[in-house]
């Protein structure tokens, strides 16, 4: 499969502020990519640059092999063949659902146009509301109209800007999987941006993690979860606690937590590392090696999430089935499962 979208050392400046620095990645045809990062990380600037609303200060963006953006070239948005779904959907309030979807088909013959509109209405399942105006639709329906409108002209790539942020959280995960199914079925190359890792996990084949305008890590959702490259990535993606802990030359951790099974250990004795313990690394066990004080308990329905204190006072988290019911102040017996534990700053 060839590269549908290719970014090569893309930088964007606003005055003296560098919003995006030397970002490179590419997206294969039919894949769904996701730029994930906290607000202000430059992800929206990047998306708008691909759409043609921002100029690059360095680098280039190519679509199907043609350069569309570079410091000295800026193909106007209307010539790019890029479809975009905006965060607030940006539906045309004076046009019906039908007319909104048909807006990008102005150059086509009326018959082709009508059949394409019908096709799109079928795709997003909005046949019964095609004569309505945007203000008469629910948030989810508006989003589907925005999607159908962006897909109607058959774009080379579809851009989604925080597609679920305007919807209630209950419907988000359901809509995310619906939309993923729809995009995969239509074989549309898609790039979305979000700050929510659950949305990213639900939608993406490939995640580009961004912070302060730089790529921190690229990979599949599973890669990012299991092998975060930095403390930031570990903290931002997935649940878990980072602790600061001493380690000796053989990989043995302080407090008798265990021995780190693999990875380069320090030759020096008594160095300190940062260790990521996912919830599943701390296992409730009646015969466990450690008895730790319970600092806090959150009832989550099927599970209880306990916050426990290590002997030095740092807190770690442990997820148990909800029948395992203790109260704050009591102790919980656990063992440590360090197969998946991740170590940072070794020998720092």
Nearest approach, Cβ of residue 232 and other proteins (Å): 27
Residues 101-121 as b or e (16 or more Cβ within 10 Å = b): bbebbeeeeeeebeebbeebb
Cβ–Cβ < 8 Å for 148, 126: yes
Q: Write out the two tokens for 86.
A: 């905006």
- Name which of 150 and 207 has its Cβ closer to other proteins: 150
Residue 135 in contact with other proteins, rule: CB under 8 A: yes
Residue 83 in contact with other proteins, rule: CB under 8 A: yes
Residue 185 in contact with other proteins, rule: CB under 8 A: no
Q: Which stretch binds other proteins (CB under 8 A): 132-140, 173-181, 190-198, 273-281?
A: 132-140
- Name which of 35 and 247 has its Cβ closer to other proteins: 35
Nearest approach, Cβ of residue 94 and other proteins (Å): 5
Q: Which of 104, 163, 228, 238 binds other proteins (CB under 8 A)?
A: 104
Residue 93 in contact with other proteins, rule: CB under 8 A: yes
Residue 326 in contact with other proteins, rule: CB under 8 A: no
Q: Write out the two tokens for 21.
A: 């620095």
Residues 45-75 as b or e (16 or more Cβ within 10 Å = b): bbbbbbbbebebebbbbbbeeeebbbeeebb
Nearest approach, Cβ of residue 32 and other proteins (Å): 19
Sheet holding 73-74, edge to edge: 17-28, 3-14, 58-63, 66-70, 73-74
Nearest approach, Cβ of residue 133 and other proteins (Å): 7
Cβ–Cβ < 8 Å for 317, 239: yes
Residue 144 in contact with other proteins, rule: CB under 8 A: no
Residue 52 in contact with other proteins, rule: CB under 8 A: yes
Residue 66 in contact with other proteins, rule: CB under 8 A: no
Within the chain, what is the greatest distance between any pair of CA atoms? Answer: 77
Distance of alpha carbon 222 from alpha carbon 317, whole angstroms:
21
For every residue of 293-324, DSSP letters joined together read EEEEEEE-SSEEEEEEE-TTS-EEEEEEETTS
Nearest approach, Cβ of residue 88 and other proteins (Å): 6
Q: Which of 38, 66, 73, 92 binds other proteins (CB under 8 A)?
A: 92
Residue 149 in contact with other proteins, rule: CB under 8 A: yes
Cβ–Cβ < 8 Å for 8, 34: no
Q: Which stretch binds other proteins (CB under 8 A): 150-158, 206-214, 260-268, 308-316?
A: 150-158
Residues that bind other proteins in the complex, under the rule CB under 8 A: 51-53, 76-78, 80, 82-84, 86-88, 90-94, 103-104, 106-107, 133-135, 149-150, 153, 155
């Amino acid at each position: 499969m060839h590269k549908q979208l290719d970014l090569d050392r893309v930088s964007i400046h606003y005055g003296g502020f560098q919003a995006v620095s030397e970002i490179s990645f590419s997206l294969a045809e039919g894949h769904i990519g996701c730029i994930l990062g906290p607000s202000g990380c430059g992800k929206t600037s990047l998306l708008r640059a691909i759409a043609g609303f921002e100029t690059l200060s360095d680098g280039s963006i190519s679509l199907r092999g043609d350069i569309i953006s570079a410091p000295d070239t800026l193909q106007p948005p209307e010539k790019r063949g890029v479809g975009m779904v905006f965060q607030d959907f940006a539906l045309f309030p004076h046009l019906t659902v039908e007319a909104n979807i048909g807006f990008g088909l102005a150059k086509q013959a009326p018959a082709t146009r009508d059949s394409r509109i019908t096709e799109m209405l079928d795709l997003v399942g909005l046949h019964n509301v095609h004569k309505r105006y945007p203000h008469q639709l629910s948030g989810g329906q508006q989003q589907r109209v925005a999607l159908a409108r962006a897909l109607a002209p058959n774009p080379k790539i579809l851009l989604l800007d925080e597609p679920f942020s305007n919807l209630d959280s209950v419907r988000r995960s359901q809509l995310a999987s619906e939309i993923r199914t729809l995009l995969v079925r239509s074989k549309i190359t898609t790039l979305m941006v979000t700050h929510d890792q659950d949305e990213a996990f639900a939608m993406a084949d490939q995640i580009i993690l961004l912070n302060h305008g730089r790529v921190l890590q690229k990979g599949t959702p599973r890669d990012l979860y299991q092998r975060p490259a930095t403390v930031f990535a570990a903290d931002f993606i997935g649940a878990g606690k980072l602790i600061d802990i001493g380690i000796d030359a053989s990989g043995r951790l302080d407090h008798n937590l265990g021995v780190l099974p693999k990875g380069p250990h320090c030759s020096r004795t008594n160095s300190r590392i940062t260790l990521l313990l996912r919830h599943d690394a701390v296992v409730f066990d009646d015969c466990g090696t450690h008895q730790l004080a319970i600092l806090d308990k959150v009832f989550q329905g099927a599970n209880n999430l306990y916050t426990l204190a290590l002997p030095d006072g740092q807190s770690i988290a442990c997820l148990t089935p909800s029948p395992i019911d203790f109260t704050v102040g009591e102790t919980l017996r656990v063992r440590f499962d360090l197969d998946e534990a991740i170590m940072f700053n070794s020998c720092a």
